[in-house]
Structure 1
Amino acid sequence: MDNQTLVQYFHWYYNEADKLWIKAGKDAEKLAQMGITGIWLPPAYKANAGEASVGYDPYDLYDLGEFDQKNTLATKYGTKEDYQNAIHILQENGISVIADIVFNHKAGGDELEKVTVRTVNPEDREEFTSEPFEIEAWTKFSFKGRNGQYSQFIWDKDCFSGIDWAEDLKETGIYSIQNIYGEGWEDVPSKELGNYDYLMYNDIEFRNPAVREELKRWGEWYVNSCGMKGFRLDAVKHIATDFLIEWLDHMNETFNTQFFVVAENWNIDNVTELEHYLEITKGRMQLFDSLLHHNLFLAGEEKEQYDLSKIFEGTLVQLQPMYTVTFVDNHDSQPLQALESYIDFWFRPLAYALILLREDGIPCIFYADLYGAKYKDEDKEEDMVDVNLVPLIELPEMMSIRKDLSYGLQRDYLDFPNCIGWTRTGIPEKVNSGIAVIMSNGAEGYKAMEMGLENAGRIMIDAIGNRKEMIIIDEKGWAYFFCNAESVSVWTIA
């Protein structure tokens, strides 16, 4: 079986001529040939910002670009038919589709309701800063454009635990809704700011059993309509974990399958919290390794001052490799985003070698590194920033090496602050498999590494092309491998 490789098939500012669903269908065969086994597509449902929305301000989960709502029929990425066709073509090419699920909040309510609320201290949401009072808020979602098709469920004030806008007062804030399910926030994994249940927009109230049942019905409809094989769960540290467990168990039981699930629990400080989340969800999902991303970011910033031998310290992939999806960057860390921590271009080839060519974790490629991205910060009329992210020229070759050659016993040589490496011995089922990887964040580097007796006498070359010499593995299965300054070389059998 080939190594798994995922791709995040979008970025925040996607602006190409082809709608994304059309482009995905066109690219399916090529992506499969490159070794992609799973594709993470962005939120597909109608959002508050209509055709301009990336999808993380969800309005109607049942509208996949089918109904005239929010001043558009199609979403930013195309129509429902385009989406269904893309999924079919991708999965016909052996690529499992992973659908982005945003359960934390809804946006763009249709009608005002009178709602009893209390304000809270934004820095400590457990602290109320007012007595209960009444406001008018956009908490009723009637979806008149859909007119009850697929679901007649109406979301109202009892379906939400918090909001951020009082229409009658014309004031923003964090308003805790006082309802029959409790005056305070739900129990969520994140204790940041006292309790991080509230993130944005209309925060969904999972203590309401009608809400839980509606989201289960929607999940069934979604899979029956589109046939995806997995889910990416957004912002799980803000969501009641017992609901996600209940929802995933329901989906797996209903479809008699085990959906691939990866969750976003952004944390760059404490791997213990991520391990705890894996413990309480008991193998139901994997997590993105935001801690490794942060280490890669620091390594790019600090150059030779960074100790490469510690690049995996404190990361999820080091401690829980079976439940980890690794990545270099994503739509949250790309330039101009709130969590911007884009890895310096010189270090990107090294970073991709670290996630693609090792045995632990499932790597996720970022769209912009395959295709590039050009965009502007449209929110800033003054001092507008032009961003040009160029494709990483080494990436297709590294993906090919992962698909065909990166197998067998791994030996690590993470033993020097400025130069590290590892080898994979290869397996008989993959012809000429086996690799040696060496990288430096300072001067030109070299390292003696073992390829194993089974590879004695074989010739190796740098498939990336940074080094031109040939290396012969000695009779004991060892050789000296080289890399250029601030560079990576991937040695493969000639």
Structure 2
Amino acid sequence: MNQTLIQYFEWYLPSDGAHWRRTAGDAQHLAQLGFTGVWLPPAYKGAKGGADTGYAVYDLYDLGEFDQKGSVPTKYGTRAEYLAAIAALHQAGLAVYPDIVLNHRIGADETERVTVRRSDEADRTREIGGEEQIDAWTRFTFPGRGGQYSPFQWNWTHFNAVDWDNGGQRSAIFRFEGKPWERDVDKERGNFDYLMGANLDTKNPEVVEELDAFGAWYLQTTGADGFRLDAVKHIRFDFFTHWLERLRNLSGRPLFAVGEYWNGEVGMLTHYLDACGRVMHLFDVPLHYNFYRASTSGGNFDMRRIFEGTLTAARPCRAVTFVDNHDTQCGQALHSPVQSWFKPLCYALILLREAGLPCVFYGDYYGTGDGTQPPLQGVLDVLLRARKHCAYGEQTDYFDDYNIVGWTRAGDAAHPGSGLAAVLSDGPGGEKEMCMGVAFAGRGFYDALGGCPGRVVIGENGCARFPVGGGSVALWLPEDGALGRAK
């Protein structure tokens, strides 16, 4: 079966501590739709306790078990509920990929006096002024946990920078004296080692040892099947080579991994893949931006170029494709939401084609809590079923028109009744002549998405003209196939 992921959360989920229970209750449904893997949000306690989405990391070992930061549960629930959700997903045959955030720490328990030098926000390689001392939030003692699972406590020597001087009540990027930026990181802003909070110093062997211990503990505790890795471009490029290979050796399992390297230039993504030894997949950020630009171009985007400059085109076996995620939502740091009218086209492009491993966004399937994205459940159900049952066999592309593009999948013997024809237009509707192959001659096709009434009959030469409406996608399936009209 085709592999398909779902990001099972969005930024504006309610802070009701019920998400792990929702996850467990939805497990069988997700499996029936054809999902094979579930990306779960960060499960550990954040700086805002039960209101924290998990990216402001406080305690890696508190999965909703200890009274810290004003709550016992995390935003998503308790440790017991988290483990029960994973068990339910596993029972449904789904792989589980927790979100792992290692780069930064926020919400320290105490400050320490540290000698620093300020860095220019726009160019981190440029220093502003000389040495000075600040009160930095760098002491993490985790009094609520009391050393359970790990006695390790963090202090300033485990970090290389912070962005807040508590004594002077001022914000800036303060690099610790004697701790230069990592060189093998993304070059945005001169050097993008620093992102936020207390930034880990992965040159410190104590840091690496503790992260190794945490990874082993987390795997043993949760039984996770791999990871979504946050903000990998801010950590030296060979760190996850070490971390993942060690955990794979310890567990004896392949441990799928996908990293978030947020950069719209495909060359930066391929460079990272090569530098880290291709130990992970990466999200296809350039493809997301193509989708975003196409959706905001009013029908003036050249659809022939929708995959141009993408990881899907350059490294299809390493690309995880997506339309939107929690960071691209309205009001978030990487705000670039694809407009709703264009999303069915995007999902057809990632779910019904050969290249890339698609990831469906919870906020697109169920709608978002801020009300900006209505649920696309009806459309996605059809596309997901088609991916599960029909999207197999040789692919033939017809990306030969500015507005109307399409492709066919010829089906294969391993999936009886498979095969499809997809046509998309970001402008006026029309038709596109495409070939299914002579094996389909005389067979009728229907638009499973319902936008084009009637039927298409494949000619003796295996070809036909497939209609599509304006600004929409038509999914033509065999009437007598795996998802025929009566099915």
Structures share fold, TM-score greater than 0.5: yes
1:289-317: CA deviation from partner (whole Å, max 9, x where unpaired): 11001001111111321100010000110
1:404 corresponding residue in structure 2: 389
1:186 corresponding residue in structure 2: 182
Letter in 1 for 2:448: A
Look up the SS of the partner of 1:485 in the other structure. coil
Determine which of 335, 338, 342 is the counterpart of 1:343. Answer: 338
Cα offset, 1:282, TM superposition: 2.2
Determine which of 315, 325, 333 is the counterpart of 2:320. Answer: 325
Cα offset, 1:340, TM superposition: 1.2
8 Å CA contact retained: 1:349, 1:392: no
Cα offset, 1:177, TM superposition: 0.9
1:105 paired with 2:104, answer yes
Determine which of 247, 265, 268 is the counterpart of 2:243. Answer: 247
Instruction: For 1:353 and 1:242, locate their aligned partners in 2 and report how far apart those are by CA, in whole Å.
Output: 35
1:133 paired with 2:132, answer yes
8 Å CA contact retained: 1:104, 1:238: yes
8 Å CA contact retained: 1:374, 1:389: no
* Structure 2 counterparts to residues 20-59 of structure 1, below 5 A: 20-59=19-58
1:99-150: CA deviation from partner (whole Å, max 9, x where unpaired): 1011110011111111111111111111111222221111111111111111
Cα offset, 1:16, TM superposition: 7.6
1:378 corresponding residue in structure 2: none
Cα offset, 1:188, TM superposition: 3.4
1:379 corresponding residue in structure 2: none
8 Å CA contact retained: 1:45, 1:63: yes
Judged with a 3 Å threshold, the aligned counterparts in structure 2 of structure 1 residues 141 and 208 are, in CA distance, closer, same or farther, namely: same
Letter in 1 for 2:346: A
Instruction: For 1:296 and 1:289, locate their aligned partners in 2 and report how far apart those are by CA, in whole Å.
Output: 11
Instruction: For 2:14 and 2:467, locate their aligned partners in 1 and report how far apart those are by CA, in whole Å.
Output: 41
Q: CA RMSD in A?
A: 1.1
Judged with a 3 Å threshold, the aligned counterparts in structure 2 of structure 1 residues 189 and 133 are, in CA distance, closer, same or farther, namely: same
Determine which of 223, 228, 231 is the counterpart of 2:224. Answer: 228
Look up the SS of the partner of 2:326 in the other structure. coil
8 Å CA contact retained: 2:284, 2:321: yes
1:421 paired with 2:385, answer no
1:197 corresponding residue in structure 2: 193
Instruction: For 1:54 and 1:95, locate their aligned partners in 2 and report how far apart those are by CA, in whole Å.
Output: 23
1:448 paired with 2:433, answer yes
Instruction: For 1:483 and 1:163, locate their aligned partners in 2 and report how far apart those are by CA, in whole Å.
Output: 54
8 Å CA contact retained: 1:446, 1:481: yes
The share of aligned pairs that are identical, in percent, is 45
Determine which of 460, 463, 467 is the counterpart of 1:475. Answer: 460
Instruction: For 1:16 and 1:74, locate their aligned partners in 2 and report how far apart those are by CA, in whole Å.
Output: 10
Cα offset, 1:97, TM superposition: 0.5
1:343-373: CA deviation from partner (whole Å, max 9, x where unpaired): 1111111111011100000110010111112
Determine which of 220, 224, 237 is the counterpart of 2:233. Answer: 237
* Structure 2 counterparts to residues 147-296 of structure 1, below 5 A: 147-179=146-178, 182=179, 184-268=180-264, 270-296=265-291
Look up the SS of the partner of 2:355 in the other structure. coil
Look up the SS of the partner of 1:276 in the other structure. helix
Gapped runs of 5+ residues in structure 2? 480-487
Look up the SS of the partner of 1:132 in the other structure. strand
2:379 corresponding residue in structure 1: 394
Determine which of 352, 361, 380 is the counterpart of 1:357. Answer: 352
Letter in 2 for 1:398: L
Instruction: For 1:119 and 1:428, locate their aligned partners in 2 and report how far apart those are by CA, in whole Å.
Output: 64
Aligned residue pairs, count: 479
Structure 2 length normalisation: TM-score? 0.97
Instruction: For 1:444 and 1:16, locate their aligned partners in 2 and report how far apart those are by CA, in whole Å.
Output: 43
1:74 corresponding residue in structure 2: 73
Instruction: For 2:262 and 2:421, locate their aligned partners in 1 and report how far apart those are by CA, in whole Å.
Output: 32
Instruction: For 1:85 and 1:391, locate their aligned partners in 2 and report how far apart those are by CA, in whole Å.
Output: 28
Letter in 1 for 2:252: N
Instruction: For 1:465 and 1:451, locate their aligned partners in 2 and report how far apart those are by CA, in whole Å.
Output: 20
Determine which of 307, 325, 331 is the counterpart of 1:312. Answer: 307
Gapped runs of 5+ residues in structure 1? 376-385
Cα offset, 1:393, TM superposition: 2.6
Structure 1 segments of 4+ aligned residues over 4 angstroms from their partners: none
